[in-house]
Amino acid sequence: MSRDELNASEREELAALDRILAREPVGEQHLELAALVDSVRAGAPRMDPAFAERLDARLAAHRRRGGGAGARVARPGIRRLALAGSGLVAAAVAFTIVISSGVLSGGTTHPPAPANGPALSILPRKAPGATTTPTGATSAFAGSSVGAVPSTNLSVGRSLSARLVRRDSALTLATSPASMQSVANRIVAATEQRGGVVESSNVAIQGPASHASFSLAVPTGRLGSLIAALSSLASVRALNQNSNDITNSYNAEQARLADNVAARAALLKALATAATATQQASIQKQLNRLAARIAAEQRELDRLLGQGHTATLHVSVVAGASAKHAKASAGPFTTAFHRALHALEEILAIALVVLAIVLPFALTALALWWGATAVRQRARERAMRTA
Amino acid sequence: MTVIAALPTSGPGAGEQFEQLYRSSAADVYAYVASLLRDRTAAEDVTALAFERAFRRRALFDVRRGTPRSWLFAIARNAALDELRKRRRTGALLHEIADPSTELEDLDSELAERRLLVREGLASLEPRDREVILLKFVGRLSNAELARVLRCSESNAGTRLHRAIERLREVCGVTR
């Protein structure tokens, strides 16, 4: 039996005590306890009638000031305040969602289409053969319209004053298997709309394993616009953009061509003044070799120029990200919904940060309060012991 | 025993519930506080303070944590103990409650003698024992309510109460 446990007769006595205090009859064996209770109660200090009146008046004054009815009023007041606060928070959240969804600014939002201005003012000059890989999607869009388009009427021997840049990009999109075909069709349409061509494509609809890939060629100046358009069709998983400055290669090829053209002119002059058949045959042989070289150089120049004119874009579409695939066929409200989710995520993130800041303070305050309460209670018990 | 199930602060009858608690407990609270403090003036102040505090905090009352009566006695107890602490710090003088023998003059001698004996016996008890007897006999708290006020388990409260009664019997020379 533990220290706290009472035996049966002790429990019976405590039960009898409760009956005595409730003025219920008890057995003879408990009459002595009843007398003890009576003596203690009779000996307890009694409230002075004057004090009783004063106490009544004090409490009545409390009720009048803000008590009885006041408390009843106060709580609905707090409730109204809480309601108003909740309303304000809800309005702020709704406002944030609406603003971030872009509904007010006219429906669907797409990544900003890059300007099609002169690329040369944007692209930094690089050493020949340098390759740049934009890292962020935003910066990728910002610089995606670059691609020097030198004059097509290049005269032989004149080097480029503008930069000639070869661009190729890779874009990975994610959409639901159900939207795969629709997204594929839109990719083709968007490419053709911008004067591009689909060099190769592969679309496989196989449920969750559905995928599609495209190799697109598009005028360099419209690459940014195409990427922006395709990015709005589905969730962008990855975007990789490479640029390669081929100006120096072009210029070197151009210089070699100019030299060969000059050499051919000199040989033609020599042929005209050749005295013997042997000399003529020799010059003709050199002219033939030179003509082949000039043709090859011209082809190379055309190839380099084509690279500068036309950018390649490899697009892969994978199945997944069902929450975001709806973008492919999203109307303004669907887009707004996604934006709202995004806004809520951001609000949650902010709330977490705030919580991370507030929580240590709150825990410290709680610990201090708890400690102070425990100390105060201990002091009270000590006061009781020494009373 | 007066038990009020809950202490609503709003809706019809909220004020009446507190009024009922006040009417049924004021005398007992005063008797308990005065017995603890042994000072009529301080007891009056503490009793008034306890009711005012209870009135202000009635919105915080949680029915799951006890009855309104135990809640009220816990407030009164804390206020009384704070008064004891303050008195210990300041060395305040006691305004002793009137000599009980003058109140016993009208009773027959045997009863008067018995009550005097019990009163003196109660005064000679350890404060903790005296308190538990006052809470039970004067405050008429159930053992569960007693446990809430004393911040202990119900069985511990029962044991403490029984031992306190035994000691009271002992000092009063009462045999069963």
B79, B53 contact by CB (below 8 A): yes
Mean pLDDT by 10 residues, chain A (387 residues): 71 90 87 88 86 87 62 51 75 63 44 38 37 37 37 48 85 88 91 92 87 92 90 88 89 91 92 89 92 93 89 90 51 83 91 92 94 88 75
The pLDDT of residue B39 is above 80: yes
Domains of chain B: 11-97 (1.10.1740.10), 99-176 (1.10.10.10)
Q: Tell me how far apart the alpha carbons of residues A325 and A236 are, in angstroms, rounded to a whole number.
A: 10
Residue among A44, A75, A379 minimizing CB distance to B138: A44
Distances (CA, A) of B90 to A377, B9, B81, B94: 19, 37, 14, 12
DSSP B138: I
List B residues 45-84 in contact with A (Cβ-Cβ < 8 A). 47-48, 51-52, 55-56, 58-59, 78, 81-82, 84
User: Any chain B CB within 8 A of the CB of A12?
Assistant: no
CB atoms within 10 A of CB A54: 13
Spell out the long-range contacts of B124-129 with Cβ–Cβ below 8 A and sequence spacing 24 or more.
Answer: B124/B171, B125/B164, B125/B167, B125/B168, B125/B171, B126/B167, B127/A384, B127/A385, B127/A386, B127/A387, B127/B36, B128/A384, B128/A385, B128/B160, B128/B164, B129/B160, B129/B163, B129/B164, B129/B167, B129/B168
| Tokens encoding A292 | 């082949």
DSSP B60: G
ipTM: 0.81
A242, A122 contact by CB (below 8 A): no
Q: Mean pLDDT over all residues of chain B?
A: 81
B33, B135 contact by CB (below 8 A): no
List A residues 34-63 in contact with B (Cβ-Cβ < 8 A). 35-37, 39-48, 51-52, 54-55, 58-59, 62-63
A221, A122 contact by CB (below 8 A): no
Residue among A6, A48, A62 minimizing CB distance to B159: A6
The pLDDT of residue B102 is above 70: no
Residue among A46, A75, A385 minimizing CB distance to B128: A385
Spacing of C-alpha A1 from chain mean position: 65
Percent of chain B with pLDDT over 90: 26
Residues of A whose CB is below 8 A from B18: 68
| Tokens encoding A368 | 């201090």
Residues of B whose CB is below 8 A from A22: 1
User: Any chain B CB within 8 A of the CB of A17?
Assistant: yes
SS3 B102: helix
Note whether A71 contacts B14, CB cutoff 8 Å. yes
What is the rounded average pLDDT of the residues B29-52?
90
B139, A17 contact by CB (below 8 A): no
pTM score: 0.49
pLDDT of residue A359: 93
* Probe site for chain A from B111, B115, B163, B169 (most A CB atoms < 10 A): B115
pLDDT of residue B79: 92
pLDDT of residue A262: 93
| Tokens encoding B34 | 């005065």
